[in-house]
Chain A
Amino acid sequence: MGKTILIVDDSESIREVVNFTLANAGFEVLVAVDGSNALNYLDGRTIDLVLTDLHMPEMDGIQLIKKIRENETYSKIPILFLTTESQLNKKNEAKEAGATGWIIKPFVPAKLLAAISKVIRA
Chain B
Amino acid sequence: MDNFQRKFIEEATDLILRLEQVLLSLDKNNSNKTLVDEVFRIMHSLKGGSGMFGFQLISDYTHQLESVYDLVRNDKMPLTPEILEITFASVDHIRNIINNQGNKTESITTVQNLLLAKLSQIFTQKNEPTNVTVRDNEIVDNSKLNNYYIYFNPFSTVLKTGNNPLYIIDELVNLAKSLVFTRLIKIPLLNNLQHDNCYTYWEIFLESNFSVAQVKDIFMFVEDDAEIIIHTLHAENFIENPEFINFCNNQKHQNKFEIGLIENYLQQYENVNTNPDTGKKTNKVTEKLKKFKQENVITSIRVASDKIDLLMNLVSELITSQAGLNLYMEQNKLIGLKPIAESIENIARQLRDTAFHISLIPIDNLLVRFQRLIRDLSKEFGKEIQFISEGADTELDKTLIEAITEPLMHILRNSVDHGIELSSERISAGKQPIGTILLKSYYSGNQIVIKISDDGKGISPKFIKEKAIQKGFIKEDAQLTDKEIIELIFLPGFTTTSSVTNVSGRGVGMDVVKRKIADVRGTVELHSEKNKGTEITIKLPLTLSIIDGMLLKLSDIDLIIPLSVIYTIYPVKTSKLDKSFNNIITINGLQYPFYNLRTEFNIMDNIPEQMEMIIVKYETAFVGIAVDYIVGEYQAVVKPLGKMFRKQDIFSGATILGDGTVALVVDFMKIIAQISNQNKNI
Contact = CB atoms under 8 A, between A and B. Distances in A.
Contacts of B48: 11, 14, 53, 82-84, 105-106
A105 B47 CA distance: 8
A11 B51 contact: no
A14 B159 CA distance: 29
A86 B4 contact: no
Interface residues of A, number: 40
A62 B266 CA distance: 48
A13 B162 contact: no
Interface string A6-17: 000011111011
A35 interface: no
Please classify the interface of chain A as helix (H, G, I), strand (E, B), loop, or mixed, using the class held by over half of its residues: mixed
B44 A84 contact: yes
A14 B53 CA distance: 9
Contact of B162 (A16, A76, A105): A76
Contacts of B11: 11-13
Interface in B60-104: 63, 66-67, 70
A17 B52 contact: yes
A75 B135 CA distance: 32
Interface string A52-72: 010111000000000000000
B424 interface: no
Nearest to B34: A57
A92 B44 CA distance: 19
A112 to B, nearest CB: 10
A11 B218 CA distance: 29
Contact of A119 (B8, B47, B52, B164): B164
B605 interface: no
A118 interface: yes
A120 B133 CA distance: 27
Contacts of B135: 85
A40 interface: no
A92 B133 CA distance: 14
A88 interface: yes
Contact of B44 (A20, A55, A76, A88): A55
A88 B41 contact: no
Contacts of B49: 11, 13-14, 105-106
A38 interface: no
A79 interface: yes
Interface string A75-117: 1111100111111110010010011111001110000000001
Contact of B45 (A10, A101, A107, A118): A10
Contacts of B306: none
B544 interface: no
A121 interface: yes
B168 A17 contact: no
Given A12-B7, A84-B44, A84-B66, A98 B52 contact: no
Given A13-B4, A57-B38, A106-B52, A87 B162 contact: no
B333 interface: no
Contacts of B224: 92, 95
Contacts of A82: 48
B3 to A, nearest CB: 8
A85 B167 contact: no
B52 A107 contact: yes
B220 interface: yes
Interface string B1-34: 0011001101100000000000000000000000
Interface of A: 10-14, 16-17, 20, 53, 55-57, 75-79, 82-89, 92, 95, 98-102, 105-107, 117-121
User: Ordered nearest first, which 6 A-B pairs have the shortest CB separation?
Assistant: A106-B51, A78-B162, A101-B221, A105-B48, A100-B162, A13-B8
